[in-house]
Amino acid sequence: MSPNLPTPLRTFWANAARTCVRARPLGLTAALVALSSCGGSSAMPGGMSSIAPSMAMRPLSVEAPSPDPRVGLRAGLFDAEEAAWNLRVVSKTPPPEAFVGKTNSDLAFKGNYAIQGNYDGVQIWDITNPSAPTTVITHLCPASQSDVSVFGDLLFVSGEGMTGRLDCGAQGVQEAVSHDRLRGIRIFDISDIRSPRHITNVQTCRGSHTHTVLEDPNDQDNVYIYVSGSAPVRPAEELAGCSDASPNQDPNSALFRIEVIRVPIARPQDAAIVSSPRIFNDLVAPPTHGLAPDDIIAMDEAEAAGAFVAEFEGRRRILGDRTTRPLLNGIMTARGGTRVSAADSATLRASIPAMAESLMGGGGDGLGPTQCHDITVYPAIGRAGGACGGYGLLLDITNPIDPKRLSAVSDSNFAYWHSATFNNDGTKVLFTDEWGGGGGPKCRASDPPEWGANAIFTLDDQDMDFRSYYKLPAAQTSLENCVAHNGSLIPIPGRDIMVQSWYQGGVSIFDWTDANNPVEIAFHDRGPSDANRMGAGGTWSVYWYNGVLVSSEISRGLDIFELLPSDALSQNEIDAAKSVHFDHLNSQGQPQIVWPHTFALARAYVDQLERSRAVSSAWVTEVRAGLTAAEATSGSARQSALTGMASQIRGQAGQSGDAAKVRMLADALRGLAGS
């Protein structure tokens, strides 16, 4: 795929040098110095090869391994057969003895530590050496699901189950009403990570299934926690003030609201609920989203071929035989016939719009869902994606204690809105559907590809527009619980790439840069954890953190993967991703990715332009050579070379097939010159 490396004399540097100074062939350094005197691209009319592509642009397309190696993997707990494509298993570390057979849950990261929730507590790993993670501490304090987050020296842990105790005891809580029970958020001081110190608890009426840490860019004194709890409301006898009456009967009802906890950073012991926003108020049935482009084409074709098509709930649907046959029979019977005729079909066709119209309509009581399952905040753009019962919500979170709903979507294919991920530009949001709650085998060949999947939306100011579904493309067995679950962006510059857990369906990495056409580019999977029954296991969450992919395996411990280059992802793109460093990460408190200025970043953009055929191959060759030459120099020579290159490339952007990406390259070069 890569063209042969050019000789330096064929590079645009040489060309530019000739043009500018009309000199004899120059040494490289001289050429770069000469270039620096040239100024902008206008001084180099004959400079670079034409950027204009000679071939049509092509969408990302990947040749996936066939047959899919994920199908038919041998079962096993710690010795299951594995399949991996375009990634490498760096380490597989079983859980500490105390957590063997206990459910691992979500992950958070601080420094070189991975903090793994477990239904029996929290496990902290040192992942300084990703090939050999070591146990720092196994902290026993049972409460499902132990969703974890960090901020500074604070660790937050969710408790929802009936067994969580204030004293962290393992004996459970037998009484239905008990003051020993903890359901809510536990807060620990982890300034000494080997010895977490319990600070306080914030009890909530529905407990905390998940929570989200919101770091408000305008508030340096506090951090906020959005609490989502999906289990039933606690009795008031257990936690005063809790009510599950309808809000119409009791304005203090714990239903139909979320909880916002404010944690003063200087006095975390004062953490408390500060608001309970009713973000669902007046939420009536929003329009279900439209069809995917491919579906529209298929629908048009089917209609042209004679299928009956009706519009229900704002969406066109092909009516199957099971629907149309009784209707046709009815029409036939009404005219006293015995065989369905073409006239009967015409009658049905003519009456479908009226039938569909009569089936349409609003409704609902305006209360909306009673809770969210999870909320992903993206403070850099002041937005949050709420996955709430039957709805996906877009929230304005510029005032953390008073989030406002901007819009809502629902989807007849979505059973239960589970979580959200924004792309880094904040122009798209991806919601997951945890159909069946994660315990069901929803990736069998017989399960529809739009059920238990991701739905991808583009953001148009305040509106969300449906584009497509993405579901794990490999059929799993009925022994493997499998449905869309947690993941994060991988910081590949210029593309939207996500890594995601599918429980026993494994890890799937996909490109959703084209919202209409998500494409899987890498995966890892194991066989079932048990050959005879649907055992516990699979990946709960997998996140990119400082160069590696870290997966919380429910039964098998901690897995760490590394990306391998492929046709769909170059080494330069991987290197650019690895240049991004976080000092901590809570995936549901989505950080904005900012790429340091590196040669890898510039080369990643060049690789992408080449892959999509947005530029000519000669241009790619010259730019690569130019980068090689510039990297070989230093100081002002490098700066001059990069600056000149940046301005010339910027001037060419309009002639390429992807002006925006070419400008990103120019910006990267300018940034590199300045760094």
Partner 1 sequence: MMSDPRRHLPLPYVAAALLLSALSTVACAGAGGPTTPAPRSGAGAANAPPPAPDLARLEALYRARADSALQRVSDADAHFMTGMIHHHAQALVMSAWAATHGANASVLTLTARITNAQKDEIAVMQRWLRERDRPVPEVDAGGKMAPDSGMQMPDMDMSDTQMPGMLSPQQLLDLSRARGVNYDRLFLTYMIQHHNGAVTMVHELFATDGAAQDDFVFKLASDIQVDQATEVARMQQMLDGLPSNHDR
List the interface residues with partner 1, window 357-396 (CB under 8 A). 358-365, 367-371, 373, 389-390
The string of DSSP codes covering 364-384 is: --S---S--SEEEEEGGGTEE
Interaction residues for partner 1, span 324-363 (CB under 8 A): 326-327, 330, 358-363
- Give me the amino acid identity at 480: E
Residue number, 71 or 360, with CB nearest to partner 1: 360
Nearest to 314 by CA among 349, 285, 351, 346: 285
Q: Which of 153, 189, 219, 313 binds partner 1 (CB under 8 A)?
A: 313
Residue among 411 and 496 whose Cβ is closer to partner 1: 411
Place of tokens 């006898």: 237
| Binding of partner 1 by 410 (CB under 8 A) | yes
From the CB of 389, what's the least distance to partner 1, in Å? Answer: 4
Nearer to partner 1, 98 or 380 (CB): 98
561-590 mask for partner 1 (x: CB under 8 A)?
------------------------------
**Among 65, 264, 287, 320, interactor with partner 1 by CB under 8 A:** 320
**Smaller CB separation from partner 1, 171 or 341:** 171
Only segment of 20-28, 319-327, 459-467, 613-621 that touches partner 1 (CB under 8 A):
319-327
The nearest distance, CB 624 to partner 1, in angstroms, is: 42
* Phi/psi-derived region of residue 168, left when phi > 0, alpha when psi is between -120 and 50, beta in every other case: left
Do 160 and 183 form a contact (C-beta atoms < 8 A)?
A: yes
The residue (of 186 and 661) whose beta carbon lies closer to partner 1 is 186
User: What gap in Å lies between CA 56 and CA 4, rounded to an integer?
Assistant: 22
Q: What are phi and psi of 641, to 5 degrees?
A: -60, -45
Q: Which of 198, 349, 613, 638 binds partner 1 (CB under 8 A)?
A: 198
Site for partner 1 in 524-543 (CB under 8 A): 533-534
Q: Does 139 bind partner 1 (CB under 8 A)?
A: yes
**616: nearest Cα among 32, 20, 41, 12:** 12
Q: Cβ of residue 390: shortest distance to partner 1, in angstroms?
A: 5
Q: Tell me the C-alpha distance between 276 and 255, whole Å.
A: 10
Interface region with partner 1, contact rule CB under 8 A, candidates 2-10, 34-42, 129-137, 660-668: 129-137
Residue with tokens 């000149």: 644
- 148 binds partner 1, rule: CB under 8 A: no
Q: Which of 43, 140, 307, 564 binds partner 1 (CB under 8 A)?
A: 140
> Judged by CB, which is closer to partner 1: 491, or 538?
538
Give the C-alpha separation, 505 to 524, whole Å.
Answer: 9
Is 191 among the residues that bind partner 1 (CB under 8 A)? Answer: no
How many chain residues interact with partner 1 (CB under 8 A)?
Answer: 102
First to last CA, the chain: 31
Measured from the CB of residue 272, what is the shortest distance to partner 1 in angstroms?
22
Residue partners of 271: CB distance under 8 A and separation at least 6: 185, 187, 199, 200, 202, 225, 261, 262, 263, 264
Distance of CA 321 to the CA centre of its chain: 38
Closest C-alpha among 199, 200, 202, 259 to residue 229: 259
Neighbours of 31 (CB within 10 A): 26
Residues 544-563 that bind partner 1 (CB under 8 A): 555
The region of 159-167, 564-572, 586-594, 623-631 touching partner 1 under the rule CB under 8 A is 159-167
What are the angstrom distances between the C-alpha of 220 and each of 189, 214, 224, 265, 375? 18, 12, 11, 8, 22
Q: For residue 218, how far is the Cα from the chain centroid?
A: 25
Binding residues among 233-252 for partner 1 as defined by CB under 8 A:
233, 235, 244, 246
**Contact status: 419 vs partner 1 (CB under 8 A):** no
Strands (E), 3-133: 82-85, 87-93, 104-110, 113-118, 121-126
Q: How far is CA 627 from the centre of its chain?
A: 32
**Is the C-alpha dihedral spanning 153, 154, 157, 158 positive or negative?**
negative
Stretch that binds partner 1, among 57-65, 216-224, 313-321, 488-496 (CB under 8 A): 313-321
What's the min distance (Å) between Cβ of 287 and partner 1? Answer: 12
Shorter beta-carbon distance to partner 1: residue 22 or 533: 533
CA–CA separation, 625 and 13 (whole Å): 8
Taking the C-alpha atoms of residue 109 and residue 360, their distance in angstroms, rounded to an integer, is 48
Q: Is 230 in the site for partner 1 (CB under 8 A)?
A: yes
Q: Does 671 bind partner 1 (CB under 8 A)?
A: no
CA angle 274, 223, 497 (to 5 degrees): 120
Question: How large is the angle between the packed helices 617-631 and 599-611, nearest 10 degrees?
Answer: 170
Of 142 and 527, nearer to partner 1 (C-beta) is: 142
User: Contact 292/282 with Cβ under 8 angstroms?
Assistant: no
**Contact flags string 257-296 toward partner 1, x per CB under 8 A:** ----------------------------x-----------
Which lies closer to partner 1 via its Cβ, residue 28 or residue 157? Answer: 157
Q: Which of 81, 126, 180, 562 binds partner 1 (CB under 8 A)?
A: 126
Contact 337, 345 (CB under 8 A): no
Near partner 1 in 437-476, by CB under 8 A: 437-442, 447, 451
* Greatest pairwise CA separation for the chain in angstroms: 97
Among 52, 89, 168, 475, binds partner 1 (CB under 8 A): 168
Which residue among 47, 161, 518, 589 contacts partner 1 (CB under 8 A)?
161
- CB nearer to partner 1: pick between 205 and 563: 205
d(CA 169, CA 156): 18
Q: Which is nearer to partner 1, 21 or 162 (CB)?
A: 162
Q: Taking contact as CB under 8 A, which single stretch among the options 1-9, 10-18, 430-438, 458-466 is the one that binds partner 1?
A: 430-438
Q: How far apart are CA 563 and CA 542, in angstroms?
A: 13
CB 423 within 8 A of CB 383: no
Restricting to residues 608-627, name those near partner 1 by CB under 8 A: none
Q: Which residue lies nearer to partner 1 by CB, 53 or 441? A: 441
Site residues (CB under 8 A) for partner 1, limited to 76-115:
77-79, 93-98, 100-103
Could you say whether residue 176 binds partner 1 (CB under 8 A)? Answer: yes
Q: Give the residue with the Cβ less far from partner 1, 225 or 283.
A: 283
298 binds partner 1 (CB under 8 A): no
Is 50 near partner 1 (CB under 8 A)? no
Q: Is 323 in the site for partner 1 (CB under 8 A)?
A: yes
**Residue whose structure tokens are 């996140």:** 543
Measured from the CB atom, the residue of 177 and 272 that comes closer to partner 1 is 177
Chain positions 11 to 40 lying near partner 1, rule: CB under 8 A, are: none
